[in-house]
Amino acid sequence: MKPKISVKHRKNNKPKSVSAIASSSPTTEIDLTYGRHAVLAALKSDRPINRIWITDKLMAHGQFYPLVKEAKANGTIIDEVDSRRLAQLTQGGNHQGIAAQVAPYSYWDLSDLINQAKQTPQPVIVIADGIEDPHNLGAIIRTAEALGVQGLVIPQRRAVGVTSTVMKVAAGALENMAIARVVNLNQGIAKLKEAGFWIYGTTADTDQLLHETNFSGAVGLVIGSEGKGLSSLTEKNCDQLVRIPLVGKTPSLNASVAAAIALYEVFRQRQ
């Protein structure tokens, strides 16, 4: 029988809101993530975890028990709670019996991301041009990691960063994806070009079809924002524009769906 980890039980206490939890430290931004895949990936990563809320049933789970025990030994506060408490903490989210206060994602420096990517023959880096929906960004991260992309570049302004929703949608892929957040996206694209990447932009306004494009070498794939697509300056800075052929009446695709189709074509050509 496994020894019980000593935990703090919180009964009859009025739960704090997620925002109150997130602002518990005056100097450090803390984000709340939940769900088995997302928290399990965080537990296996090097990211500091301040606190974990977990149900009795999941605490005894063979996959989680040793990791939670190790986290406690490293200073993480473990609260054993019921599902109702978790539902309150996650505002009704699909918590699957666990939630965690994870330290903010540490973005990569773009130069470091490029150097690591170039250790792989024919690397691929995705460039998100103003993605504002965290569900789209999370889905792009999940697809990119699954297909072996070496990194992702996002802008600091007018775009979503790595939030708890992004972590949840990415379902653990975030911990295996290098992400750089740059002040100026087009300067970042210029830096990728200097490093030997050929930049492809996805748009409906070109005759060059995706499946007729040769994606050999180091590839930078730009995905436009929801509704607006590529910005005019970003489009000008692309080496080549490509179009996903559509035959139905729907004029465009969701950003994450477009990313998935384009990435699959890139990697299909390399098999």
In order along its 271 residues, the chain shows pLDDT tens digits of 444 444 444 443 433 333 334 333 332 334 688 888 888 888 887 778 889 999 988 888 888 889 988 989 888 999 999 999 999 888 888 899 999 988 777 899 999 999 999 999 999 999 999 899 999 999 999 999 999 999 999 998 889 988 878 887 887 788 889 999 999 999 999 999 999 999 999 998 899 999 999 999 999 999 998 778 899 999 999 999 999 998 888 877 889 999 999 999 999 998 8
C-alpha 228/C-alpha 224 separation (Å) is: 7
Q: What distance, in Å, lies between the first and last C-alpha atoms of the chain?
A: 48
- Residues 36-53 have pLDDT tens digits of 888 888 888 777 888 999
C-alpha 217/C-alpha 121 separation (Å) is: 8
> Is 55 strand, coil or helix?
coil
Q: Which residues neighbour 10 within 8 Å (Cβ) at sequence distance 6 or greater? A: 79, 81, 85
* Residue 115 contacts residue 150 (beta carbons within 8 Å): no
Helix axes 110-117, 185-194, angle to 10 degrees: 40
Number of neighbouring beta carbons within 10 Å of residue 88 = 17
Side-chain half-sphere CA neighbours of 16 within 13 A: 9
C-alpha 217/C-alpha 195 separation (Å) is: 12
pTM: 0.73
C-alpha 137/C-alpha 174 separation (Å) is: 10
* Residue 60 contacts residue 51 (beta carbons within 8 Å): no
